[in-house]
């Protein structure tokens, strides 16, 4: 080999080892840089015409492992999901507490039982009544506070979801742009593995995986395709954009949508796809599961308890008698109109008493026969056909100079004359019923509790009854699945002259068999989904209808929609009438018999039967339907309250366990990636020494060549 060849080989050694030292230098400098994958130098012999001419760099290889990288992304998504949920559960547990806490629902029921026990010992004591009122207010306030806490947290989570959409779109676009730069960098062939763009893209992919579960695949040009784990495109030759405006419609939340963008012009491609059912991990999955499944379920369970609490206490309060009897009774907004069929069966008695509880006048109503009589006299008709208006008119006539009755805006009002009082007593043998509810409770004449939604949904309305709803009202429905997918958004517009049955039929037609509403014999409406949509729920996303002048919509009256149950706890409070006059709460029991005549005492001051009956409501077995993941069951109010907190604790513990598992999985994945791709100082120092020695040897060869040239030049 000539001296020139030797010099060329030495120079190649200097260049190659200098570049290798630069790679080692970058590795060491990025020892603690997030997302940096170490580079190694692959050398090859340099030849010319089949002759060795030194050394060259074949490639600078970025050390990565596709399997480990995908596992790291997947583990990051799982950890982010459960970290998000665990943080929210911690916040929720701190706000709601547990069954033994002083402000819990279970404690509120215990305090109320104690207050009623005290009142039963001294029913005329003002201190006893004050204690009961304080306990009732405390329980009502706790229901309302828990409901507001859950709803507020749902709103907070929804806003977090909205806020994350913009940053997620930025990450997706960043990955697409980095793909473009990497493809340009690699256009010369062989791939530029030294490029920092690859590390930047890996960091962006890691951040995106923490927001939503993703999978990736690498193309020959160095770009990566990114999709949801079930294959919906996020980044390829196009890129996707997410959209979500937030907020709920009647408590029902919409979907995040996913749609491709044409990079050439920025135009949207195709139709938007709901993203929610395609999320398999990440903080977005955690937020949506907490908002819809966990908190939505807790709200339904709480509403179930609130509804049964209101129904059972209101039923007993309407069966009791106050001493002295109140001078007037004004009921709740029933959603009924005067032209509605009366639709009561059985018997009830309304009595006017003086201030000492003695009978002044008795009106016996036989709804089955359609008659009433005053003080055992001749029967008078309730109307033919009997309607709410005709009954009210007949009752008003029967009261005569002793009182009056009126019905307006869905509310029945009965008042006695002067200082006299009004009592209502259901017949013990054949009690009055509309649907499944007695006369006084149905109209809410002596209710204790009220909420945003009516607790009584057995309306007593029949398919042939006029709807009472003007034309032009719109009822909007959505069918939403347990994974968050909304498969149907439908609406109907009411027309003039429709019956209740017509509206139910119109709703069923709009749903197309995916779900079905059934008007039951008690005037309630039940909902069922088809076998094609197991676990799906019908939500009422809007209702502009109004029944007569009641101010109540069709869906409110019947409690339609999965979110209607939540309204039972919202605004839970004592009725305005009871708050204004605590003496209305009856601690006694009316004692009217067919033989009772004017002057007989039908309610007395020392009677404690009503207080004992109210106390027993708390431990009496009630029928709870399935709600929020808790099965239908027969349980007492206090036991179901404990079940509510136990359900919360069980879900919280499950999330904590999953958090630990996923965090451990991520730690292991990070460790393996670091072991494979991370910088090892010992290895780098070894490489540094090797390349340094090779460089020095190359330099030494050049020195020798130089000396040889000098020797040759000195030869004469």
pLDDT digits (tens, 9 = 90+) for 172-227: 999 999 999 998 887 765 556 657 889 999 999 999 999 999 999 999 888 999 99
C-alpha distances out from residue 698 to 54, 562, 687, 703, 710, Å: 10, 80, 16, 9, 19
Long-range contacts of 508-517 (CB under 8 A, 24+ apart): 510/477, 511/477, 511/479, 511/538, 512/488, 514/479, 514/487, 514/488, 515/479, 517/560
CA 73 to chain centre: 27
**Which carries the bigger pLDDT value, residue 390 or residue 27?**
390
pLDDT (0 to 100) of residue 618: 96
Q: Where are the alpha helices (DSSP H) in 122-252?
A: 126-185, 196-211
pLDDT (0 to 100) of residue 140: 96
What letter does residue 458 receive in the DSSP assignment?
-
Three state DSSP letters for 307-367:
HHHHHHHHHHHHHCECCCCCCEEECCCCCCCCCCECCCECEEEEEEECCCCEEEEEEEEEC
Structure tokens at 57: 């760099």
Query: What whole-number percentage of the chain has pLDDT above 70?
Result: 99
Pick from 307, 361, 355, 274: nearest CA to 559: 307
Does residue 57 carry a pLDDT above 90? no
User: Are the CB atoms for 506 and 541 separated by under 8 Å?
Assistant: no
Q: What is the mean pLDDT of residues 115-129?
A: 92
Report pLDDT digits (tens) over 309-353: 999 999 999 999 999 999 999 999 999 999 999 999 999 999 999
User: Are the CB atoms for 645 and 630 separated by under 8 Å?
Assistant: no
Angstrom distance (rounded) from CA 550 to CA 131:
35
Return phi, psi of residue 221, to 5°.
-85, 5
Angstrom distance (rounded) from CA 427 to CA 430:
6
pLDDT (0 to 100) of residue 716: 60
Pick from 555, 641, 528, 536: nearest CA to 301: 641
Angstrom distance (rounded) from CA 694 to CA 54:
12
pTM of the model: 0.90
Consecutive H or E run containing 613: helix 609-617
Angstrom distance (rounded) from CA 255 to CA 277:
9
C-alpha distances out from residue 14 to 5, 8, 704, Å: 14, 10, 15
Q: What is the mean pLDDT of residues 116-131?
A: 92
User: Are the CB atoms for 374 and 361 separated by under 8 Å?
Assistant: yes
Structure tokens at 376: 């055992």
- Of 35-44, 360-369, 504-513, 624-633, least confident by mean pLDDT is 35-44
Q: What is the mean pLDDT of residues 127-150?
A: 95
Burial class (CB in 10 A: 0-12, 13-18, 19+), 142: buried
Residue with structure tokens 């329980």? 139
pLDDT (0 to 100) of residue 110: 94
Q: What is the mean pLDDT of residues 424-441?
A: 96
User: Are the CB atoms for 523 and 460 separated by under 8 Å?
Assistant: yes
pLDDT (0 to 100) of residue 691: 86
Pick from 459, 637, 474: nearest CA to 545: 474
Q: What is the mean pLDDT of residues 571-595?
A: 93
pLDDT (0 to 100) of residue 1: 59
* pLDDT-derived band at 148, boundaries 50, 70, 90: very high
Report pLDDT digits (tens) over 667-691: 999 999 988 888 889 888 998 999 8
Angstrom distance (rounded) from CA 9 to CA 3:
10
Does residue 234 carry a pLDDT above 60? yes
Angstrom distance (rounded) from CA 321 to CA 605:
10
Does residue 95 carry a pLDDT above 90? no
Q: Output the average pLDDT for the chain.
A: 93
Q: What is the mean pLDDT of residues 518-526?
A: 96
Return phi, psi of residue 7, to 5°.
-65, -40
User: Are the CB atoms for 89 and 157 separated by under 8 Å?
Assistant: no
pLDDT (0 to 100) of residue 620: 95
Angstrom distance (rounded) from CA 347 to CA 382:
13
Other residues' Cβ atoms within 10 Å of the Cβ of residue 520: 12
C-alpha distances out from residue 632 to 170, 626, 628, 652, Å: 46, 4, 10, 22
Report pLDDT digits (tens) over 627-656: 988 999 999 999 999 999 999 999 999 999
- For 100, the 3-state DSSP assignment is coil
pLDDT (0 to 100) of residue 325: 95
Residue 47, C-beta contacts closer than 8 angstroms, at least 6 positions apart? 53
Structure tokens at 576: 């305005």
User: Are the CB atoms for 348 and 367 separated by under 8 Å?
Assistant: yes
Does residue 387 carry a pLDDT above 70? yes
* pLDDT-derived band at 588, boundaries 50, 70, 90: very high
pLDDT (0 to 100) of residue 190: 54
Report pLDDT digits (tens) over 261-283: 999 999 999 999 999 999 999 99
C-alpha torsion sign, points 232, 234, 236, 239: positive
* pLDDT-derived band at 546, boundaries 50, 70, 90: very high
What letter does residue 516 receive in the DSSP assignment?
E
Report pLDDT digits (tens) over 156-179: 999 999 999 999 999 999 999 999
Residue with structure tokens 């991520």? 666
pLDDT (0 to 100) of residue 705: 82
pLDDT (0 to 100) of residue 205: 95
C-alpha distances out from residue 442 to 211, 298, 573, Å: 50, 28, 18
Cis peptide before 324 (omega within 30 of 0): yes
Angstrom distance (rounded) from CA 707 to CA 470:
110
Report domain extents, the chain: 3-63+678-714, 323-445, 474-558
Other residues' Cβ atoms within 10 Å of the Cβ of residue 444: 26
Q: What is the mean pLDDT of residues 369-387?
A: 96
């Amino acid at each position: 080999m000539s001296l020139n060849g030797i010099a060329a080989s030495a120079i190649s050694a200097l260049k190659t080892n200098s570049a290798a030292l630069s790679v080692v230098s970058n590795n060491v400098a990025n020892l603690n840089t997030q997302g940096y994958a170490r580079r190694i130098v692959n050398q090859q012999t340099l030849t010319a015409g089949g002759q060795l001419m030194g050394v060259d760099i074949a490639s600078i290889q970025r050390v990565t492992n596709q399997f480990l990288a995908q596992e790291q992304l997947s583990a990051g998504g799982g950890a982010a999901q459960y970290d998000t949920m665990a943080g929210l559960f911690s916040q929720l547990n701190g706000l709601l507490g547990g069954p033994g806490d002083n402000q819990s629902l279970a404690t509120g029921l215990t305090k109320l039982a104690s207050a009623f026990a005290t009142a039963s010992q001294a029913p005329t004591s003002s201190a006893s009544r004050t204690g009961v009122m304080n306990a009732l207010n405390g329980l009502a306030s706790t229901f309302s506070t828990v409901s507001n806490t859950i709803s507020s947290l749902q709103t907070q989570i929804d806003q977090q979801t909205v806020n994350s959409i913009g940053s997620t779109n930025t990450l997706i676009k960043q990955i697409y742009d980095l793909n473009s730069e990497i493809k340009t960098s690699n256009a010369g062939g062989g791939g530029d593995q030294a490029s920092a763009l690859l590390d930047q893209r890996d960091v962006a992919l890691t951040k995106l995986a923490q927001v939503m579960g993703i999978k990736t695949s690498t193309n020959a040009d160095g770009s990566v395709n990114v999709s949801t784990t079930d294959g919906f495109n996020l980044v390829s030759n196009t890129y996707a954009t997410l959209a979500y405006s937030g907020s709920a419609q009647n408590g029902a939340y919409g979907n995040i949508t996913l749609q491709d963008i044409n990079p050439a012009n920025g135009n949207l491609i195709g139709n938007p796809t709901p993203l929610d059912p395609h999320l398999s991990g990440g903080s977005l999955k955690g937020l949506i599961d907490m908002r819809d499944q966990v908190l939505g379920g807790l709200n339904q369970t709480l509403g179930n308890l609130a509804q049964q609490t209101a129904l059972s206490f209101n039923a007993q309060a309407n069966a009791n008698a106050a001493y002295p009897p109140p001078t007037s009774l004004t009921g709740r907004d029933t959603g009924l109109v005067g032209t509605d069929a009366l639709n009561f069966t059985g018997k009830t008695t309304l009595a006017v008493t003086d201030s000492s509880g003695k009978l002044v006048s008795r009106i016996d109503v036989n709804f089955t026969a359609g008659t009433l009589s005053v003080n055992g006299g001749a029967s008078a008709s309730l109307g033919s056909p009997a309607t709410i208006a005709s009954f009210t008119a007949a009752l008003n006539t029967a009261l005569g100079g002793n009182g009056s009755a009126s019905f307006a805006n869905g509310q029945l009002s009965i008042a006695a004359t002067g200082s006299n009082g009004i009592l209502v007593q259901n017949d013990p043998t054949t009690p009055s019923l509309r649907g499944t509810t007695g006369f006084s409770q149905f109209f809410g004449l002596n209710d204790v509790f009220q909420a945003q939604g009516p607790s009584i949904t057995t309306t007593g309305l029949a398919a042939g009854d006029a709807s009472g709803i003007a034309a032009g009202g719109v009822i909007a429905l959505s069918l939403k699945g347990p994974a968050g997918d909304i498969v149907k958004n439908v609406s109907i517009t009411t027309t003039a002259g429709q019956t209740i049955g017509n509206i139910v039929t119109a709703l069923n037609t709009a749903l197309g068999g995916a779900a079905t509403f059934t008007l039951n014999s008690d005037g309630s409406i039940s909902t069922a989904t088809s076998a094609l949509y197991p676990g799906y729920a019908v939500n009422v996303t809007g209702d502009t209808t109004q029944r007569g002048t009641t101010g109540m919509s069709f869906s409110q009256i019947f409690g339609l929609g999965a979110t209607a149950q939540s309204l039972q706890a919202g605004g839970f409070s004592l009725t305005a009438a009871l708050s204004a006059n605590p003496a209305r709460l009856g601690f006694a029991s009316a004692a009217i018999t067919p033989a009772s005549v004017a002057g007989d005492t039908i309610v007395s001051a020392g009677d404690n039967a009503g207080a004992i009956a109210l106390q027993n409501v708390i431990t009496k077995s009630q029928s709870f339907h399935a709600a929020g993941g808790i099965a239908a069951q027969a349980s007492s109010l206090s036991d179901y309250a404990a079940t509510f907190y136990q359900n919360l604790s069980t879900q919280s513990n499950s999330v904590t366990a999953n958090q630990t598992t996923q965090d451990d999985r991520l730690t292991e994945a990070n460790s393996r990636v670091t072991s494979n791709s991370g910088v090892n100082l010992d290895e780098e120092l070894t490489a540094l020494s090797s390349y340094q020695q090779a460089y020095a040897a190359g330099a030494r060869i050049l020195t020798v060549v130089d000396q040889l040239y000098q020797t040759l030049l000195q030869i004469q």
